[in-house]
Every structure is written in structure tokens, then in C-alpha cells.
Amino acid sequence: MLVQLVLLGIVGIAFVNAAAPPYGQLSVSGTKLVGSNGKTVQLIGNSLFWHQWYPQFWNTQTVKALKCNWNSNVVRTAMGVEQGGYLSDANTAYRLTAAVIEAAIAQGIYVIVDWHAHEPNADKAIEFFTKIAKAYGSNPHLLYETFNEPLDVSWNNVLVPYHKKVISAIRAIDKKNVIILGTPKWSQDVDVAAQNPIKGFSNLMYTLHFYASSHFVDGLGNKLKTAVNMGLPVFVTEYGTCEASGNGNLNSGSMSSWWSLLDQLQISYVNWAIADKSEACAALTGGTSAANVGTSSRWTQSGNMVASQHKKKSTGVNCNGGGGAAAKPAAKPAAKPAAKPAAKPAAKPAAKSKGKSSKAKKPNAKKSG
């Protein structure tokens, strides 16, 4: 089926050869993500790294490899906002995001369009998501993530007003596709959001992020269980096998406990990150190109752990035909990608931090993403 897409301000009108996603149109029922048949589903996949530092993986080759070699049914576009991202060069950020969206539509998997920020900027987020919704919102492949990892700010006074503005802008165009909302303290305080969930809109979910060597099932996992027991639909849009900084030791035992809990609760999860950066949570070894994302010899220890987990799951993907090449992606970035930070931006707190070497760090609970 050919789907006509309007790439506003970039290439006019394009045509994408669309393949249906595994579960059709997604929606939210109670605490569950459900497919078009009303049955609970899990999305399991990979997050790309901030676009301004690893744009070489934002393309069809990567998306196809994630589907066919990693058994992933979702890819996340971590479109960086700060640190040389969208606020500095909106056209390149949008162009790369559009290329991945089109690849996901063509390959028949879901795509989370992530406003990868740590500071609230509702006006710019609305500008971005309005373009995305107009161009792609008619496709069931799309999910919106309106705020990656808010810092330690008030849910009621800062994030609820922010989310309501951005949700309203998206819903003015796209009435159906799921919207995932960032929660306080690097998207760890889902229990706080559960005390006052946003009302008046359908198909909303709430973000939890964790890093297995910094956050544990008997700690942050209890906050997750509390939120779910209170009726909050949660989506893990980012997790790492390592420390919240995106580096340090891997913790396979903690990771196994997290996967077991998420599978038990039927919660979707997306791994950080598809990049060949020299840090523990990166899925690819140094020098890997998009052409080799599907080559297991190019996967790091973390990458192998994640791919092994994905392959245990029934994700509904089909690599035997279907999923042609995406419409010509918008032009290549005009300028060089922003310089990669030597280390992640500010660190996240131990329990809430998860900083990545190129991202602000979160406290213990924080991460690298």
C-alpha cells in the first residue's frame, strides 16, 4: 500500500511503500498497550543514540537490521534537543527523524518519535510534533514521546502543564496514536505521576527509565509496581544493561530480574543504544557501520545480551518479504554532526540517574540517555 506523506518544509510530497506493523493500530486499555484486536502486546526494540553524535545509524539499513537480525518490533529516534541538537539545527534533526520514520513504516515496525530533552521547552516541542503529526500521524506505526527525561522537577506544577500543551497540539492532528509522557527525576518517578495522571485524553502512557547496574528491581522496580497497581500504563522507552552513566559494569543478574518483571507485567521496553561509542551500554563495537548493525560479530557484550533477550520473544516481525525501502530520505545533514562530548552530559543521580557519556547524567537512578 502506498501512503502519501507530506514532508513539510523539506521535500514536499513523498511516497512510502508501507508494510503493516505487527499489531496494527495500538491503543491503551487500563495499564496495557493493546493491538487492533484488543489483545495486550509488548513492543521490544532499540533506541538510536542522540542524532547529533551518531547520525550514521539513522537510516533504513539500521532499521531493517534491527527488525531482521535483532527481532525488534520498535525503534526509538532519540532526537537530541539540547547540546547541538534540534535547538541549534532543527532541519537536520527533523530530516534524520523523518528518514527513520519512513524506514520503520516501510519495514513494518513501530517507531517512537522521541523529543530527547532534559529541559522543558513546550513551544519548540509543539513546533516539532506538529510537523511530525501532519506528515506521519495517519500511520499506525507512530508513537510520540514528548519529553525524554525531565530533571528533578515538579510533576504537578511543571510537567503536567507541559504535557497538556504538547498533547493538545498532537491531538489536534493525530487523534489515535499513543503518546508517552516523561516523568520526574529522569523518568523514574512513575509513582508520583500515578497520583495525578493526566486526564481528558486517550491513549497516554508514562515513561520509566532504568540502568541495571544503578537501579534494581527491589528499589526502582517497587516504584514501577506501585504505579501499575495504581492503574498507570507504563512504557520503558529506555533502559541500559550498565550504570546510569551509560558506562561502567554490566549487571546481567539485575538485567534478568528487570526483564522478568517487565515480561510479567507485559510492559514494553527499548534498549539504549544503537551506537559504536566506547562505553558499556553501546550495542556496537567501535567502527561498526549501519551496514553491519545486523552482524553479531559487531555486537558488544551488552548488544549480545539484548539481542539474545529479543530473540526469545515473539515480536510479530516478518523478514520474508514486505517492507520495501523507505521513500528517499530527506537530504543528508548539511553540516557535520555536533562534536561528541567526551563524556555524557551531566550525570544522573544514583537512583534516578542514568546519564550516558553523551548525555546529562542522572543520579543513581539516572542514565546515559
Q: Which residues are catalytic?
A: 149, 238
Give the separation between CA 110 and CA 139, rounded to whole angstroms.
Answer: 10
Helix, strand, or coil (residue 353): coil
- Residue 336, number of CB atoms within 10 A of its CB: 8
What number of H helices and E strands is found in the chain?
Answer: 9, 12
Is residue 254 within 8 A of residue 319, CB to CB? The reply is no
What would the grid cell of residue 175 be? 487523534
Is residue 149 within 8 A of residue 82, CB to CB? The reply is no
Stated as kind and residue range, the H or E segment containing 79 is strand 74-80
- Look up cell 497497581; give the residue: 229
At what angle are helices 90-107 and 122-136 packed, to 10 degrees? Answer: 40
Which ranges constitute the DSSP H helices of the chain?
Answer: 60-68, 90-107, 122-136, 160-171, 184-187, 190-195, 220-229, 252-265, 301-311
Q: How far apart are the first and last CA of the chain?
A: 35
Is residue 43 within 8 A of residue 31, CB to CB? The reply is no
Closest CA to 199 of 160, 226, 162, 225: 160
Half-sphere exposure of 15 (CA within 13 A, CB side): 3
Helix, strand, or coil (residue 292): helix
